[in-house]
Structure 1
Amino acid sequence: MDFTSIVFIQIAIFSCLAIVFPTSRSSSSIKISAAIVLILLSTSFYFRPDLMAKVGLGAWVVAILVPILLMRQLESLVINSQYTAASRFAKWLRWVVPTDGMWSYHRLLKGLSLAQTGQLEAAGEIFARSRSSERTEIGRSATALLYRSTDRWQEYIDWGQQRLTPEQLQLDRSTTLVYYLRAFAETGDLRRCIAEVAKLDRDRQLNTQYLNLLKMYILAYCGRVDAVILACQSLLSMYPTEVHQFWIGTAELAAGKHDPAKKELRQLKQATADSCIQQDIAWRLSQPLPNLDKLTSYDWETVAQMETTVIQDAGYSSVTPNDAPTPVTNVIIAINVLVFCAELFWQSRIGDKDFTFIPWGGLAATLVVTGQWWRIITANFLHMGILHLGMNMLALLYLGKFVEYRLGTWKYLFAYLVAGLGSMAVITYIDIRWMTVPHITVGASGAIMGMLGAMGAIHLRGWRQAKVAAAGRQFQAVLFSVGFQLVFDLTNGHTSIVGHFSGLIIGFLVGLMLLGLPTKELPRLPSS
């Protein structure tokens, strides 16, 4: 079995195991699909190992990879309020993912599209038809959207108290729950909203994105303008700018900046074509905000804790803001891609059989010790194939952007080069001392694993020194990634475990060293 097949099979197995794991939040349909793929992989391995790659990988691509990618595309359309396109996409997608309410989801999106363009009556009819089955999550979501689209918050609370059970709210950890808790704040019961969100945060019972959204709502109602701006710039940057502006305006109103806030909201109402935003603004300008004098000292302590959490999560979140400048990462990726294109061109000229990495600067320990030291550098920019390049560049895009944003451009470049060169130097030493069969090493994996180590150093420092809980969770995720890479390397004879883990250790140590120097500040509250 070739290298590509082995790698894909490992990815399929590990991803399916992660999906079926009890704590996974994947949908039931995806979990069933993952279980079926694991059964197919196991069966083919036992009866026909020669067909394992074709059968197992084919099932994984069709049943897992494609649906997940398509669902993420749909989620992106919904988050960005592109409801018309999302409705059309969902109508087609239901044939690919026919369970978990997808069969009728496109109708809800159609209703949102109509509401967005001001056709509230037509939208209400769609929501009313969809809510006929309130025993399903789709039906309950339709009810939430029906009341939300017309700002009938008190009616929604009344309906929820009569029809929703605690068990249903536990299941509906998205639209229904978010709008239900917002309804309490919109009708003046901010204390109830704060208490429920604090419980969700304490019990880790809600998707992080929706939890951050609810925290931002509360901070806006409490007039914490700077914290709302920070949340919009980082944790909730995926939402449309108009949504950000509305909630920043709400926070300014709550903070007592009435005249500038009302002016900004009126300007937004005139500028936006989204009827839902227009209606929200009309509601905000005509209805009083929650009375903050009713909050107890305990409520304010809870709000302060939420504000602190937002600041910390923004500083140690694994998500890098979309507008964060990361020029070094972009340049390194471009160099690797260009070098690979040159490899392909040269390979097409001389033929696959005659192609070797030696003339291109591949790492051969015997040549390095004879004076060709530059191979320690050049080997970092060579790759064996499109899969090797693609996996490394995707990892670099994620890890590199995070580390560059946190450390700063020049410190990041230093850490990347030291990890890459250091891992190649360790490979050379190990090969000379203990390897009897000469081999060639290429790839940016050592440097990229160094960035994983640097990420671990950043989170460890935040967890142990700054006592940031979010950093501790992210550090645990780094440890999980290290464990995954270890298993991957031990079950794959085509990778360099020495290069990977020497780069990881070097990157971790360099990261700790650089963090001891004056470095780029992590996100904090912007000045008003």
Structure 2
Amino acid sequence: MTLNLFLIQLVLFTALFMLVQATRLPRGWLVAIGIVLLVLMSGFLIAPEWAGLVSGSVWALLILCPMVGIARVNRLVTQERYRQASYLANWLKWLHPADGFWEYPQLLKGLNLAKHGRLGEAKQILCRYQTDSTPTGRMAKVTLYRMEARWEELLKWIQHNIPEKLLEQEAWLGVAYLRSLAELGDVNSLLQGIERFEQLGRRGYAEVLRTLRLYALAFCGQSEDLQRFLDIALPFYPAPTRQFWLATAEMAAGNWAIAQERLTALQASQDLPLVHAIQWRLSHPLVDSTQNLTESSQAILNQIKISVQQEARYSNQLALATQKSYATYTLIGINLFVFVMEIWLGGSEDLYVLYQMGALVPENVFAGEWWRAIAAIFLHHGIVHLLTNMLGLYVFGALAEAALGRKKFLITYFFTGVGSMLAVVFVSTLTNSTTQLTVGASGAVLGMVGAEGAIQLKGWWVEKAKIAQERLRLIGIIMILQLFSDLITPQVSIVGHLSGMILGLLAGSVLFRAKHPV
């Protein structure tokens, strides 16, 4: 596969994948996708040999960099590192000036000023932007209310000025609304709102969903569950913020003395929004939530606790964050070392060099050179072939290793890699192409995709985990796109890829143990 063809497929597939979610995407992203597709189509008409390189560059500039950057900004905001977030957002606004992002750095600057005790200056900045008519204006207004813990005013403003549809469209606005309800003692409405949020299919908003679950566990007095959730899902939270929410959970559980001690210890902070939140909490004590939850709310809370446990087991992000994938990194290192050897011996695209180093040739395997079925999975034809496989191994290898453990992961990797090579040998005898040369870790990498699919399938089928059902859907899309790519790409072993996925599904089904619900 040439770099040009690879970039064409990458641009096309990612654009189509984003368009499938068009109803949830802000208008600015749809414009960016339209520009990228227009450049791609124009490239096909004017200079096909450059279409991938040009459209790929535009794609990186308008989609990849802003998406990665905005995700980083959101993480910095969650960590309350507002100065760094504002600095990064100032650069990103030139790549994605739409959807309120042009003004966002100023809002972050205001938050940073408030955090460092300069509330007056912060309010001056935010007041310049506050309005009910734009997303940025609404965000500024909500921020002003939240900084001073004016929850009653916030709730009244939302109830009188914000239609329900807007609460669904702007997730952060819905979060503010649900917290204001909980702060005023309506925990049942908080839980029902979280359930509606999940039913709307908003799981793409990972940070938002984690925040809502934090609220649920804290305001419902689930201190032990909250501690585990903070350790696993939100380890990057600042220590004072963690202590505030743990104290909230203790208060909601009826442990007033513990809560008061923790909150009082935090009051010396210069972080004025935190100080105001503490003052509100101490002056508006939470009642024992277990006495006020309705039967349906209790069921929602129980489901949230189960979902948190299941996501710690099946969520891609959590798996990557909680386990070091040493075996995956070792395999990547071996592949890179072998590729350097290919270049040193004469070139990674020199067929003679690949043959001498162990490329799979079916007739040689029949002649007794069985070792080629192993050696071939560490050889690659060109830099694009290597990089695409290593990227896939980095992602899906880490996931499989986290779920299976190191030993079972390595068994799966070699079972699918060698097995896919043997499948190529078998099919070659049926098609009379026994002199065909095959190299690459693609079979093993797609074996990891198949294994991850089996893991998620078991999670959905056995544990009834919603997160596993969603991950399984994503794995299915990846498999379909991979097969489509194989059909339109010359010199690709469809047999090796397909057999690797099938063997991965088999290995994952056998080696992964789902937990049966109690």
Match for residue 187 of structure 1? 184
Q: Quick check: 2:456–2:469 contact (8 Å CA) kept in 1?
A: yes
Match for residue 447 of structure 2? 450
Match for residue 220 of structure 1? 218
For residues 280-291 of structure 1, the aligned pairs below 5 Å read: 280-291=277-288
Q: Quick check: 1:219–1:227 contact (8 Å CA) kept in 2?
A: yes
Match for residue 66 of structure 1? 65
Q: Quick check: 2:76–2:82 contact (8 Å CA) kept in 1?
A: yes
Alignment CA distance shift 1:129-1:475 (3 Å): same
Q: Note the alpha carbon deviations across 1:460-499, whole angstroms, 9 max, x for none.
A: 1122222223222221221111111111111111322111
Q: Quick check: 1:212–1:310 contact (8 Å CA) kept in 2?
A: no
Q: Note the alpha carbon deviations across 1:393-415, whole angstroms, 9 max, x for none.
A: 22222222222222222112211
Match for residue 115 of structure 1? 114
How far did residue 241 of structure 1 move?
Answer: 5.0
Match for residue 425 of structure 1? 422
Distance 2:336 2:250 in 1: 47
Match for residue 126 of structure 1? 125
For residues 50-199 of structure 1, the aligned pairs below 5 Å read: 50-131=49-130, 133-174=131-172, 176-199=173-196
Q: Quick check: 1:361–1:375 contact (8 Å CA) kept in 2?
A: yes
Matched, 1:373 2:367: no
Match for residue 13 of structure 2? 14
Q: Note the alpha carbon deviations across 1:56-93, whole angstroms, 9 max, x for none.
A: 33332333223323323323322322211111222222
How far did residue 391 of structure 1 move?
Answer: 2.1
Distance 2:453 2:364 in 1: 34
Alignment CA distance shift 1:70-1:345 (3 Å): farther
Q: Residue type matched to 2:387 in 1?
A: G
When structure 1 is superposed on structure 2, of 141-150 and 45-54 the one drifting more is 45-54
Q: Residue type matched to 2:199 in 1?
A: R
Q: Quick check: 1:185–1:290 contact (8 Å CA) kept in 2?
A: no
Q: Residue type matched to 1:71 in 2?
A: I
Distance 2:455 2:245 in 1: 31
Alignment CA distance shift 1:384-1:282 (3 Å): farther
Distance 1:315 1:304 in 2: 17
Secondary structure class of the residue paired with 1:217 = helix
When structure 1 is superposed on structure 2, of 300-309 and 178-187 the one drifting more is 300-309
Q: Residue type matched to 1:95 in 2?
A: W
Q: Quick check: 1:184–1:190 contact (8 Å CA) kept in 2?
A: yes
Alignment CA distance shift 1:26-1:239 (3 Å): farther
Q: Note the alpha carbon deviations across 1:161-205, whole angstroms, 9 max, x for none.
A: 22222232223212x221221011112122222222222222324
Match for residue 399 of structure 1? 396
Q: Residue type matched to 1:308 in 2?
A: I
Distance 1:50 1:300 in 2: 60
Distance 1:167 1:234 in 2: 32
Q: Residue type matched to 1:33 in 2?
A: A
Alignment CA distance shift 1:444-1:54 (3 Å): closer
How far did residue 8 of structure 1 move?
Answer: 0.9
Match for residue 298 of structure 1? 296
When structure 1 is superposed on structure 2, of 466-475 and 243-252 the one drifting more is 243-252
Q: Quick check: 1:237–1:321 contact (8 Å CA) kept in 2?
A: no
Match for residue 386 of structure 1? 383
Within the candidate set 207, 210, 214, 1:209 is matched to 207
Q: Residue type matched to 1:119 in 2?
A: R
Match for residue 343 of structure 2? 344
Q: Residue type matched to 1:227 in 2?
A: D
Q: Quick check: 1:221–1:290 contact (8 Å CA) kept in 2?
A: no
**Structure 2 unmatched ranges of 5 or more:** none
Aligned residues: 515
When structure 1 is superposed on structure 2, of 84-93 and 63-72 the one drifting more is 63-72
| TM-score relative to the length of structure 1 | 0.89
Secondary structure class of the residue paired with 1:220 = helix
How far did residue 273 of structure 1 move?
Answer: 7.0
How far did residue 279 of structure 1 move?
Answer: 4.3
Match for residue 27 of structure 2? 28
Distance 2:267 2:393 in 1: 41
Distance 2:239 2:486 in 1: 43
Q: Note the alpha carbon deviations across 1:36-57, whole angstroms, 9 max, x for none.
A: 2223322332454334234433
How far did residue 264 of structure 1 move?
Answer: 4.7
Q: Among all aligned residue pairs of Structure 1 and Structure 2, give the percentage whose two residues are the same amino acid.
A: 34
Match for residue 322 of structure 2? 323
Secondary structure class of the residue paired with 1:103 = coil
Q: Note the alpha carbon deviations across 1:336-357, whole angstroms, 9 max, x for none.
A: 223223333444xx79768721
| TM-score relative to the length of structure 2 | 0.91
Q: Quick check: 1:130–1:139 contact (8 Å CA) kept in 2?
A: yes
Alignment CA distance shift 1:506-1:157 (3 Å): same
Secondary structure class of the residue paired with 2:297 = helix
Q: Quick check: 2:220–2:253 contact (8 Å CA) kept in 1?
A: yes
Alignment CA distance shift 1:122-1:493 (3 Å): same
How far did residue 12 of structure 1 move?
Answer: 0.6
Q: Quick check: 1:186–1:290 contact (8 Å CA) kept in 2?
A: no
How far did residue 508 of structure 1 move?
Answer: 0.9
When structure 1 is superposed on structure 2, of 106-115 and 246-255 the one drifting more is 246-255
Alignment CA distance shift 1:384-1:159 (3 Å): same
Secondary structure class of the residue paired with 1:37 = helix
Distance 2:36 2:170 in 1: 28
Alignment CA distance shift 1:445-1:242 (3 Å): farther
Distance 1:411 1:50 in 2: 43
Distance 2:213 2:135 in 1: 23
Distance 1:116 1:282 in 2: 15
For residues 376-525 of structure 1, the aligned pairs below 5 Å read: 376-436=373-433, 438-515=435-512
Secondary structure class of the residue paired with 1:322 = helix
Distance 2:410 2:53 in 1: 41
**Structure 1 unmatched ranges of 5 or more:** none
Alignment CA distance shift 1:125-1:499 (3 Å): same
Distance 1:24 1:337 in 2: 41
Alignment CA distance shift 1:103-1:492 (3 Å): same
Q: Residue type matched to 1:82 in 2?
A: R
Distance 1:402 1:278 in 2: 40
Match for residue 247 of structure 1? 245
Distance 1:364 1:315 in 2: 41
Distance 1:353 1:294 in 2: 73
Alignment CA distance shift 1:398-1:439 (3 Å): same
How far did residue 104 of structure 1 move?
Answer: 0.8
Q: Quick check: 1:213–1:236 contact (8 Å CA) kept in 2?
A: no
